[in-house]
Amino acid sequence: MTKYDVLTIGNAIVDIIARCDDSFLVENGIIKGAMNLINADRAELLYSRMGPAVEASGGSAGNTAAGVASLGGRAAYFGKIASDQLGDIFTHDIRAQGVYFQTKPLQSLPPTARSMIFVTEDGERSMNTYLGACVELGPEDVEEDVVAQSKVTYFEGYLWDPPRAKDAIRAAARIAHANGREMAMTLSDSFCVHRYRDEFLDLMRSGTVDIVFANRQEALALYETEDFDLALKALAKDCKLAAVTLSEEGSVVIRGDERVRVRANAIEQVVDTTGAGDLYAAGFLHGYTSGRSLEVCSKLGNLSAGIVIGQIGPRPMISLATAAKEAGLV
């Protein structure tokens, strides 16, 4: 028996979300639709220029853990915060979702990470992230018993930015595989893929990672091609299982020669795409660790992503378990 269905590891970040128009992005040198890493001074500058904002605990893998818990799954999370106000907010929010979180906070600088997220009228989000305490996540934060008792350990590609986190992920992979568990990762962002393409491919080809999540742009970036079918074939060769989201076209799952395509759910209005990929992974992994078919896993992913993009913020404000029951998926 396992204690947890999904353990996620990521950058523990508090999101500060505000609306803006495209001209604001241009005037402030912000790359639209990307995650831009910034320093403390840049963080202060952008914060001073933001309009009215909403604070919400985020971080890619933290959002996935919250989604798994909302679906009724047993979730755990590793991520580094500082002992400060934003750290307290992050801790409260993730535990309130029902996620196990006991990573020891830093007692000194740097402070808890924060991401200034600007949402344009089309719902696209542009993230500007100061990693702060996240860079201190290391192997000492890997709780061996939690990894050993988790069916799947999932981490975000963004963790390849803070250097010590790589050692933590490799330590977690050794523990997971020694206990017959699986490792999953999300490619996170096409810019992230460009930074770490060779390392990501090595994680997959070496068997360190079993399951990969990506969107279309990230899959193309990984193989430096404009041919999506070629990228899918390469993914099928390089990892045990891959799930690729296709925005309004839904998603496709690849396992060996098997391909499963599922249409996207109808969305009344796209409010904020923050967390869409994170919640797709949550739905998929909840289905996967519950023994569902790949089609149902994909439908749970699409449902969860569809719900979160209809609201402000990256964590579900309604029970995903209830929504899944109403949709006949559980």
For position 330, what pLDDT does the model report? 87
pLDDT, tens digit (0-9, with 9 covering 90-100), for 136-175: 999 999 999 999 999 999 999 999 988 899 999 999 999 9
Q: In this structure, what DSSP letter does residue 272 have?
A: -
* CA nearest to 241, candidates 289, 199, 196: 289
pLDDT, tens digit (0-9, with 9 covering 90-100), for 36-94: 899 989 998 999 999 999 888 889 999 999 999 999 999 999 999 999 999 999 999 99
* Backbone torsions φ then ψ of 206, nearest 5 degrees: -85, -10
For position 206, what pLDDT does the model report? 97
For position 99, what pLDDT does the model report? 97
Low-confidence ranges of the chain (pLDDT < 50): none
For position 289, what pLDDT does the model report? 98
Q: In this structure, what DSSP letter does residue 106 have?
A: B
- Residues 87 and 199: their CA atoms lie apart, in Å, by 30
Helices and strands (H and E) in the chain: how many:
12, 14
For position 290, what pLDDT does the model report? 97
